[in-house]
Amino acid sequence: MITTFLNQRFNQALAILLLIGFVTQAHAAVGDTRITTWKDDRTAAFLLMFDDGWPSHWQVAIPEMATRGLVGTFYINPAKAEFTKFKAKWDELMPATGMVYGNHTMSHHGVRDLEHARFEIGECARIVRELQPGKPDRLVSYAQPGVPKGKWNLSNEDRAMLLEEYNLVSRPPFKDHGAVYHKKTLEDMTALIDKAIATKGMEYLVVHGVERIVPNWSYQDFWPLKQAVFLPLLDVLKDKSDKRELWVTDHISQHQYATERDTATITVLKTDTNDIQLRLKSAADPRFYDHPLTLVTEVPADWRECTVAQGATQTQAVVVNGFLTFHAIPNGPVISLSPANAP
């Protein structure tokens, strides 16, 4: 009796599932396009951030990350001795490895008043943009330095004004995300990664020093993260990145992607056997928000390799199971998809 009842419920559930499947399929059509939650249709985003411009960043962290194809954000203090003494290292590393600089103020000593804050924050922004050339007013990530009580004499309103004036974006807070300080073990850190993936969201870790073994200096940098934790963490990040579960990126790229994505709309302008045309719009200001979004479009069953054109930009992409995955800039020219072998 109970078995029959359960069977009936099972059959009802199955019928509903089949119906949902039918309806979903009936709505799918050539030209249907979705914007992926994160770049390359990866599940989640993860940010590695390094504060204070310690020598162990270029001695240990950057080479180890670069060999694994990982990038991070490095928050520098251009007036600190650790920076000025090794400026040549900082000059050459960024273009060579794809790492990204962030603004951690000039001295890390705090600010006396608004004028001093304008120098501490504004001059650091200028130097970051000079070290890493790009669009002159491009967004730069800002990390508020931790300074002794009484040393930060600037209202939140004035700070917000300066951040806007210098096109700076505050990074997520240090709270609960500091390596060595809050997150001590590899398990603590992989739990952050697992959380990002489970929520399809973003997580991050803020690192200060990294343990220095070679070269053998007589001291370690501030809050040194043991290599026995740091290197396996990088291996996990690389593995998750290879499996497309994670987009390991810099703060500004993640911020741009999320901001553009959250207000993006797609309009299908045209679909025929040899051409699909789409318009990608976003409410984000294109002067600052020009990171490509990843789109997935259903294409005709006989398309294999495709040409993706947006204005002067042309790329090739291969169709997988009837869907084409490609990048496009919001608020740019019309996007045109066509089979590569089209007449």
Q: Kindly tell me which of 82 and 203 has the beta carbon lying closer to Zn ion.
A: 82
Asked if 51 touches Zn ion (CB under 5 A), the answer is yes
- Please state, in angstroms and rounded to a whole number, the distance separating the CA atoms of residues 119 and 141: 17
Within residues 231-270, the interface with Zn ion by CB under 5 A covers none
Q: Kindly tell me which of 142 and 257 has the beta carbon lying closer to Zn ion.
A: 142
Q: How far is the CB of 85 from Zn ion (least distance, A)?
A: 18
Q: Kindly tell me which of 5 and 219 has the beta carbon lying closer to Zn ion.
A: 219
Q: Which residue is nearest to Zn ion (CB)?
A: 51
Asked if 120 touches Zn ion (CB under 5 A), the answer is no
**Number of residues binding to Zn ion, judged by CB under 5 A:** 3
Asked if 102 touches Zn ion (CB under 5 A), the answer is no
Structure tokens belonging to residue 227: 């290599």
Q: In terms of Cα–Cα distance, which of 332, 334, 318 is closest to 276?
A: 334
Q: Kindly tell me which of 52 and 250 has the beta carbon lying closer to Zn ion.
A: 52
Asked if 82 touches Zn ion (CB under 5 A), the answer is no
Q: Kindly tell me which of 80 and 240 has the beta carbon lying closer to Zn ion.
A: 80
Kindly state the DSSP code that residue 35 receives in the 8-state scheme: E
Residues 302-334, buried b or exposed e (16+ Cβ, 10 A)? ebeebbbbbeeeeeebebeeebbbbbbbbbbee
Within residues 127-156, the interface with Zn ion by CB under 5 A covers 145
What are the E-state strand segments in the chain? 33-35, 44-51, 73-76, 100-103, 140-142, 168-170, 202-207, 246-249, 265-272, 275-281, 293-298, 305-310, 313-318, 323-328, 335-339
Q: Kindly tell me which of 72 and 145 has the beta carbon lying closer to Zn ion.
A: 145
Site string for Zn ion, 52-81 (x = CB under 5 A): x-----------------------------
Chain position carrying tokens 């120098």: 119
Q: How far is the CB of 172 from Zn ion (least distance, A)?
A: 15
DSSP, residue by residue, 149-163: TT-B---HHHHHHHH
Q: Interface with Zn ion by CB under 5 A: which residues?
A: 51-52, 145
